[in-house]
Amino acid sequence: MIKALILDLDNTIFPTASITPELFEPLHQLLDEHKDEFGEDKLPEIKKLMSKKAWQKIADQFEFSEELTKKGSDILRESTYDKPIEPFADYKEVKSLSHNKFLVTMGFTKMQQSKVRMLNLENDFKDISINDPEKTEGTKKEIFEDILKKYNYQPQEVLVIGDDPESEIEAGQALSIPTVLYDKNNEFNDSQADHRIHDFKELTKIIEQY
């Protein structure tokens, strides 16, 4: 029986692209200034990834210089968003579920806190954890383990829900926690998680299976 849900934030509760142009404008300017370093042809792809992946992961993937990585981190560390954010329309289906819910998100602390605040999520979750790579070497896997231990859950009593096969889905699978890939835009295949959904209305049937 499922007793708790662990959810990701970006592109799971709301479309990150809806705030990317404004939130990341200073970073986009920085990338424009350094485009010769990684190749101008890669610039559109890098900017697109900003709404999907952590800065540190992008820096590693495209082998940014130490200077560019640091300048980007300096910008993002103090970045916040102060306008209302609209969640996905089907997020209301998650809110209606009576299960304990835990939010686990990766990113810079101030930025992620501002998103949570502008989405008014504080009362939706039993606990909110921000996995800030600058403050910890731990991953979402360690946070999931802490939730299991703290609340005395067995892995099969929890569902991990998120949009990234290489992040929360991978972490959940490593702990034998059932995983649900929220594939809103049909980007992935069915083999990348225990379950794949396009709308949170599908969650109830999955929960009933356990």
SS3 of the chain: helix, strand, coil, percent, to 5:
50, 15, 35
Location of each CATH 3.40.50.1000 domain in the chain: 4-14+84-208
- DSSP H helices, 96-177, are 109-118, 140-151, 170-174
Question: Which of 113, 52, 109 is CA-nearest to residue 82?
Answer: 113
| Strands, sheet with 179-182, edge to edge from the N-terminal-most edge strand | 127-131, 100-106, 4-7, 158-162, 179-182, 195-197
Pairing of strands 4-7, 100-106: parallel
What is the model's pLDDT at position 53?
Answer: 82
What does the pLDDT profile of the chain (210 residues) look like in tens digits?
999 999 999 999 999 999 988 999 999 999 999 999 888 899 999 988 887 888 888 999 999 999 999 999 999 999 999 999 999 999 999 999 999 999 999 999 999 999 999 999 999 999 999 999 888 878 899 999 999 999 999 999 999 999 999 999 999 999 999 999 999 989 888 888 999 999 999 999 999 999
What is the model's pLDDT at position 191?
Answer: 83
Does the pTM surpass 0.85? The reply is yes
- ∠ CA 97-98-103, nearest 5°, is 75
The Cα 210–Cα 193 span in angstroms is 16
The Cα 194–Cα 168 span in angstroms is 13
Q: Which CATH number fits domain 4-14+84-208: 1.10.150.120, 3.90.1170.50, 3.40.50.1000, 3.30.565.10?
A: 3.40.50.1000
